[in-house]
Structure formats: structure tokens, C-alpha cells
Amino acid sequence: MSMNEKEVVFEEHELIVSMTDVKGNILYANDIFCKIAGYSRDELLGQPHNMVRHPDMPRVVFKLLWETVLSGKFLSAFVKNKTKDGNYYWVKAYVAPIIENGKIVSITSYRRPVNDFVKREVSKTYKVLLDYERTHSMSETVDFFSSFLKERNLTYPQFIDRLAQDRSISSPAALNIDVDGYYIDHIIFKTAITRGISLGKKDIKVTEPCCCNLGKKLKTLEGMSFTTHLSWSKVHHYHNHVHGLMKEYVNRAHGGALKDELDGLLSNVQTDTIKLFDMLNDVIDNYVEEKGL
């Protein structure tokens, strides 16, 4: 990192969003992305997304990310990016493939800010990987990173989840629950539906709550001791209600409802989503405090 670099920070409520084709060329950039990176939208569109890649980032992280996403799966990563004027900003990126008719047509990335603990811990790990990369092949670096995680009894998703909880990767005790990732799952769920409606698709359906990605993740938590907390039932209540509202949104859209009416439903979805994740955080925070993890 250059001594002249300064960090650009953004607010917790701000969400950087971009979309690329399968080769990594930018198809869409939201206003927050343009503001933080320092580029106009015209300067970003059509350019390779690695134009904002910071030299402190190990290539092995992007190799893992692209291989996972192009296989049709989601992946999270902590990423240090560079701005147009030579500064930098940290994000937690949640990268997802957009699949149509069984084929990946684009990649969407949602990025949120990260705290100082994560920046410090990830910077140390990335320096180790970067130093190793300089004198070894990519395949050797992949093996090295795999060994690094195995020594800590972590998978890559657990590595991300643990740091997201402000817990050292050397600590044996952690819940490994990435609430940010759960939140992004909801955004993907809602965006896929609203995008389909805007395109005039008539086959849009809202599945039962247990069938969406967030629902599946919540189901895997059942049976863990912290689910006895009173707030756990409220988590399910708000999740079910969000699905009910989205189902109503689809039905009214297909019935020709006006935009103001549909926007009102989406506003209610956002309100209940905030309550849902407040409850989920309460469950986890109370458990961690009680157990001293």
C-alpha cells in the first residue's frame, strides 16, 4: 500500500451494486459504486471490473471467487479496491450468478462496508497469500491457501463468516453465521422477482419460505441451542410475512395494479425485512453474550 493512499469509507446503509458479463466486463453500476470508486457511470460501463482491483489483493482470492460463481454458486469475499484517484476502500462482496434457462448470463455483486477488525485480520492473511504468490504458481498458491484454512479447521465460507462476527480465525469457538450473507440472499430474492415483473414475465412465482435460499439457511440452524430464544419465532414470523407480501406483489402485478400500489407493498417488504434481521441479530448476540464466545 502506498503511504499516500487514503481510505474511502461509506455508510452501513449504503450498498454498492454492479453487474458484469461472464468475462467480467461491467454492465451496470449503481450510484454508490460510482461515488465511492470515483468514476462516472460512462467510465465504468463496458470496462473490466478488475479496473478497481487493488494491488494488495491476492489473485488466488479472485480465482476462487470466479471458479465458484461460474459453477453456478454464490460466494462472499472481503475485497480491497482502488479508486480512480489512487485511494482505496474495503468491501464485503457477495457475488451471485444470474441464471436464465439453465445458463449463466451475468454476474451480480452486492458490496457492503466492513469494520476495522475485519480489515486488520484480512490484511494480515492477504499479505501472507500475496507474498507466497510472488514466488509460486497459482496452483501452488491454491494448495497453500487450502492448507492455511485446513490448519484452522475452516472452510472458506467459515473463514468469511467467522471474521464477519469479529472473531479471530484462530479462535476455536464461533457460530460461523454470516448475517450479511443472509441479508444479501433476501436482496437477491426480491430483486429477481421485481426484475422479472419489470420485464413483463408472467411465470413469476413466489415459493414457500422454506424453499428460498434464506429459508434453507434458517432451516439448517434449527436444533441449535440459540434457537430456543424467544426472538427465534419472530424471525420465522417476519420471514413468512415477507414471502406473503412478495406473493401479493406478484399477484397484483399480474392483475395490472398501479405502480404506487406495488411500491407500497415493496416498502412494507423492506420494513418487515429490517425487523426480520433485527430479530436474527438479537438471537445471535444474546447467545454469544450468554456463552461468552
Decide: 182 and 150 in contact? Cβ < 8 Å: no
> With the C-alpha atoms ordered 121, 91, 224, 286, is the resulting torsion angle positive or negative?
positive
Position 167 confidence tier, pLDDT thresholds 50, 70, 90 = low
Decide: 19 and 26 in contact? Cβ < 8 Å: yes
**Quick one: what percent of the chain has pLDDT higher than 90?**
42
Chain region(s) in the chain for CATH 1.20.120 = 179-291
Residue 170 has a pLDDT of 53
Decide: 112 and 15 in contact? Cβ < 8 Å: yes
Going by their DSSP bridges, the two strands 75-82 and 26-29 should be labelled as unpaired
Which segments of 112-202 does DSSP mark as H helices, in order?
116-133, 138-151, 156-164, 179-198
> What is the rounded CA–CA span in Å between residue 223 and residue 228?
8
The HSE-up count of residue 86 (CA atoms within 13 Å, CB side) is 5
From residue 97, give the alpha-carbon distance in Å to each of 74, 79, 262, 276: 7, 18, 26, 25
Which cell numbers in the block locate residue 40?
A: 462516472
SS3 content of the chain, % helix, strand, coil (to 5): 55, 15, 30
Chain region(s) in the chain for CATH 3.30.450.20 = 16-114
Residue 87 has a pLDDT of 96
Residue 155 has a pLDDT of 83
- pTM for this prediction: 0.67
Give residue-wise pLDDT tens across range 43-79: 999 999 999 999 999 999 999 999 999 999 988 999 9
CATH superfamily of 16-114: PAS domain (3.30.450.20)
> With the C-alpha atoms ordered 213, 217, 222, 227, is the resulting torsion angle positive or negative?
negative
**Quick one: what percent of the chain has pLDDT higher than 70?**
90
H/E segment holding residue 200: none
Domain 179-291 falls under CATH 1.20.120: yes
Stretch 101-114: mean pLDDT: 92
Decide: 91 and 114 in contact? Cβ < 8 Å: yes
Give residue-wise pLDDT tens across range 222-254: 777 777 777 788 888 888 888 889 889 999 988
Phi, psi of 261 (to 5 degrees): -65, -45
Position 293 confidence tier, pLDDT thresholds 50, 70, 90 = very low
The HSE-up count of residue 182 (CA atoms within 13 Å, CB side) is 24
Three-state DSSP class for residue 209 = helix
Which cell numbers in the block locate residue 266?
A: 415493496
Residue 3 has a pLDDT of 63
Give residue-wise pLDDT tens across range 116-154: 989 998 999 999 999 999 999 999 999 999 888 887 777
What would the DSSP string read from start to end of 12-46? TT--EEEEE-TTSBEEEE-HHHHHHHT--HHHHTT
